[in-house]
Copies of this chain bind each other. A is one copy, B any other.
């Protein structure tokens, strides 16, 4: 269901190219808790395609003048919804003993 899209493998320079956002902005949104890239052993940030998509949404919100704090809440709510769906799906699958 996820795999490639959620695998954190993209470095910040490439994320910059993909989104058009400055590295400063990208790091700042992380600092504000809007997204959570992984770190390699040497400490460089790695992003997923999902992160890239999220950053583009964030950019849209920012253009509308929405503050990072509010965006953070929206993101959190979307994740909650998503998790509810995932759990529901999990229960359904368990109930019918469905596979893959």
Contact = CB atoms under 8 A, between A and B. Distances in A.
Interface of A: 4-5, 7, 9-11, 13-14, 17-18, 40, 46, 49
A88 B95 CA distance: 40
Contact of A11 (B4, B7, B11): B11
How many copies of this chain sit in the oligomeric assembly? Answer: 2
A4 B4 CA distance: 7
A100 to B, nearest CB: 18
Contact of A9 (B5, B18, B40): B18
B49 A4 contact: yes
B5 A46 contact: no
Given A4-B4, A7-B49, A14-B40, 12 more contacts: A4-B5, A4-B49, A9-B9, A9-B10, A9-B14, A9-B18, A10-B10, A11-B11, A11-B14, A13-B40, A14-B46, A17-B40
